[in-house]
């Protein structure tokens, strides 16, 4: 795995296996749910292309984004990838290509935000860390892809439930969905507060430096009745 060409091939196989598993899991969901899943949402000729950045810091980060990373420069390398219903380009970055990566401290844990910032990205469709060696296999990628799809489908159903229960604030929920798809947790927390302005648990999340997106969604869902059958109170 020390050879750069072998490493790139292994990463390309991993990303392909991750996407294949995501698509297979998505096929088990209703069409409208699939259409709201971040990796598949809004796929059309006008949808920005998907780029997966393979970033070598102390850990190997894989960030999928629809932001434009510009043309290849210097020692940057890009590999195309395609499966039925999904295409992407895989680009490789390390401290030689992006010197700021060499300054990131990952001795204690993966530095997700710092790696994202080093690339100048503000949004990500997904961001996972893979370990070279036994962790960089198609089998492991399959579990990651399936988990991402399951989480994304649950989020899509939850957002639809929330939207149906907050009459007059549907546009805020639509913005929340966009912030979730873009990977913007602080924006999600602030939008959740706008949707449920008097919820104490959401206030706590807003005050948290790094709010957890899943916790934001679950807390907001609970504030409007949760997943159980629920009927809004009749207007007084």
**pLDDT one-digit tens code per residue, 23-55:** 999 998 888 778 878 888 766 556 688 999 999
Same domain, 141 and 170: no
In a domain, 156, yes or no: no
123: left (phi > 0), else alpha (psi -120 to 50), else beta? beta
Nearest 5°: phi and psi at 168?
90, -10
Give 31 or 19, the one with higher predicted confidence: 19
Mean pLDDT of 128-132: 81
Question: What pLDDT, on a 0 to 100 scale, did the predictor assign at position 136?
Answer: 83
Same domain, 30 and 139: yes
Model pLDDT for residues 172-189, shown as the tens digit of each residue = 999 998 888 777 899 999
Q: How many whole angstroms separate alpha carbon 179 and alpha carbon 190?
A: 10
In a domain, 203, yes or no: yes
Same domain, 111 and 175: no
The model's pTM? 0.74
Question: What pLDDT, on a 0 to 100 scale, did the predictor assign at position 54?
Answer: 95
Same domain, 112 and 77: yes
State the chain's mean pLDDT as an integer: 87
Model pLDDT for residues 68-111, shown as the tens digit of each residue = 999 998 888 999 999 998 999 999 999 988 999 989 988 888 88
Question: What pLDDT, on a 0 to 100 scale, did the predictor assign at position 210?
Answer: 86
Same domain, 116 and 191: no
Q: How many whole angstroms separate alpha carbon 64 and alpha carbon 75?
A: 20
Domain enclosing residue 206, as ranges: 166-223
With a cut of 50, say whether residue 18 has pLDDT above it.
Answer: yes
Mean pLDDT of 53-68: 91
Nearest 5°: phi and psi at 7?
-65, -45
Question: What pLDDT, on a 0 to 100 scale, did the predictor assign at position 219?
Answer: 94
Same domain, 100 and 19: yes
Last residue of a domain, one of 99, 119, 149: 149
Last residue of a domain, one of 90, 117, 149: 149
As a whole number of Å, the CA-based R_g of the chain is 19
Number of domains in the chain: 2
Question: What pLDDT, on a 0 to 100 scale, did the predictor assign at position 183?
Answer: 79
Same domain, 25 and 133: yes
Question: 59 near 49, Cβ under 8 Å?
Answer: no
Same domain, 135 and 175: no
Rounded alpha-carbon distances, angstroms, from residue 139 to 22, 122, 210: 13, 30, 31
Question: What pLDDT, on a 0 to 100 scale, did the predictor assign at position 6?
Answer: 86
Last residue of a domain, one of 109, 124, 149: 149
Same domain, 25 and 117: yes
Same domain, 171 and 101: no
In a domain, 233, yes or no: no
In a domain, 236, yes or no: no
Residue by residue, DSSP assigns 43-110 as -STTSPPEEEEEEESSSEEEEEE-S---S--TT-EEEEEEETTEEEEEEEE-TTTSGGGGG---SSS-
Fill in the DSSP letter of residue 38: T
Same domain, 131 and 213: no
Residue by residue, DSSP assigns 138-170 as HHHHHHHHHHHHHHHHHHHHHHHHHHHHSTT-H
Question: What pLDDT, on a 0 to 100 scale, did the predictor assign at position 227?
Answer: 65
Residue by residue, DSSP assigns 162-220 as HHHHSTT-HHHHHHHHHHHHHT-HHHHHHHHHHHSTT-HHHHHHHTSSS--HHHHHHHH
Question: What pLDDT, on a 0 to 100 scale, did the predictor assign at position 233?
Answer: 44
Model pLDDT for residues 143-175, shown as the tens digit of each residue = 999 999 988 888 888 888 899 899 999 999 999
With a cut of 80, say whether residue 228 has pLDDT above it.
Answer: no
Residue with tokens 């393979």: 54
Using pLDDT thresholds of 50, 70 and 90, give the confidence band for residue 234: very low
Using pLDDT thresholds of 50, 70 and 90, give the confidence band for residue 232: very low
Q: How many whole angstroms separate alpha carbon 140 and alpha carbon 14?
A: 8
Nearest-10 crossing angle of helices 4-26, 138-165: 40
């Amino acid at each position: 795995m020390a050879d750069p060409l072998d490493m790139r091939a292994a990463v390309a196989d991993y990303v392909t296996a991750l996407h294949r598993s995501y698509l297979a899991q998505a096929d088990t969901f209703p069409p409208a749910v699939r259409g709201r899943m971040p990796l598949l949402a809004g796929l059309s000729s006008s949808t920005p292309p998907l780029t997966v950045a393979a970033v070598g810091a102390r850990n190997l980060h894989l960030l999928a984004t629809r932001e434009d990373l510009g043309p290849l420069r210097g020692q940057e390398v890009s590999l195309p990838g395609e499966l039925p219903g999904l295409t992407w380009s895989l680009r490789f970055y390390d401290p030689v290509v992006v010197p700021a990566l060499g300054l990131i401290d990952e001795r204690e844990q993966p530095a997700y935000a710092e790696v994202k910032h080093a690339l100048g990205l503000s949004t990500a469709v997904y961001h996972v860390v893979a370990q070279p060696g036994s962790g960089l296999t198609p089998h492991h990628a399959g579990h990651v892809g399936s988990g991402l799809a399951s989480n994304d489908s649950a989020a899509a159903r939850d957002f639809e439930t929330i939207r149906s229960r907050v009459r007059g604030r549907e546009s805020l929920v639509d913005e929340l969905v966009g912030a979730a798809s873009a990977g913007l947790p602080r924006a999600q927390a602030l939008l959740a507060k706008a949707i449920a302005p008097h919820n104490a648990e959401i206030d706590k999340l807003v005050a948290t430096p790094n709010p957890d997106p899943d916790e934001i969604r679950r807390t907001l869902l609970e504030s409007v009745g949760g997943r159980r059958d629920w009927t809004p109170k009749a207007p007084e």
